[in-house]
Amino acid sequence: MSLADRLAARALELVDIPSESRGEAPLAAHALGVLRDGGVDVRDAGDSCVLAGATERGDRPLVLLAGHFDTVPEQGNLPGRRDDEAVHGLGAADMKGAVAVMLELAIAAPAATLDLGYVLFPREELPFGQSALTPLLEREPGLREADLVVVMEPTANAIHAGCLGNVNATWTFHGRSGHSARPWLADNAIHRAAKGVLAVAEVGPVPHDFDGLRFTEVVSVTRIAGGIAGNVIPGEAVATVNYRYAPGRSAADAEAWLHELCDPYGTLVIEGNAPSAPVAVGNPLAQRLIATGDLAVEAK
């Protein structure tokens, strides 16, 4: 079997193991078994986390490859399938294809001039405070000694330096319920929501240059719900807003900007805010990998 076929088969195998956030345990157990069967030094790190290879720094530089097990909810995309070009299915791109690469690389154990470790964890798709990664780093202080960590999100073989910040917020629109036969006696919360959603939709992508890289800020309404019956004017509607902001903007500034956009239409409550990561193109080890691997550097 060719390398491409082996990687595709492994990716499809992983896709077909459902692992929606908080349901990653079966996939974590499967990955643990695959690595053990492949002769890899691997261990269960608790909370559906799996660690393999080097997990603390020794005499050589420590490079960690990191990835998450979980996916967003299913949308009619299970089981997966393969065609001549790609593997398709829930989580194939984000990020079971990359997890497949990590498993196969760990089993192959290529010769290297550095120590290589693998970090697999759950609940990345949930708000920042619910991820298993922060508690894992507290339990495993050796991981924080790494000289370089590459998060293996699919990037078309480009190293994406830095990362956008991520705000999730609940946006509630308040009206007054009434009968749909007399709508002028009520105040339609969904109509209020429509005006707010339109205002967000009119905010296009905004490029920001930071430390030689271009990042694109975007804001989106990702969920909306309201109404209790077909003949009742809704008194409340609720939406979810997601805002991705560039390095150089503080978490507080990002929240203030989102409030300025949304507050005229409804009540905005910030549910989570993962600050933008610092740009890291100056890391000497990263520069060496870029040079030897012929990899481009882009913003994400």
CA 206 to chain centre: 21
Q: Count CB atoms within 10 A of the CB of residue 273.
A: 20
202 part of the active site:
no
Q: How many residues does the chain have?
A: 300
Buried b (16+ CB within 10 A) or exposed e, 236-250: bbbbebebbbbbbbe
Residues 24, 115, 124, 125: which is the catalytic one?
124
Residues 24, 70, 125, 236: which is the catalytic one?
70
104 part of the active site:
no
H/E run at residue 30: helix 25-37
Angle at 156 between CA 104 and CA 274, to 5 degrees: 90
By C-alpha distance, which of 163, 280, 155, 150 is closest to 216? 163
Three-class DSSP category at 298: strand
Q: Judge contact between 233 and 275, C-beta under 8 A.
A: no
Q: Judge contact between 228 and 176, C-beta under 8 A.
A: no
CA distance 273 to 165: 7
Active site residues: 70, 124
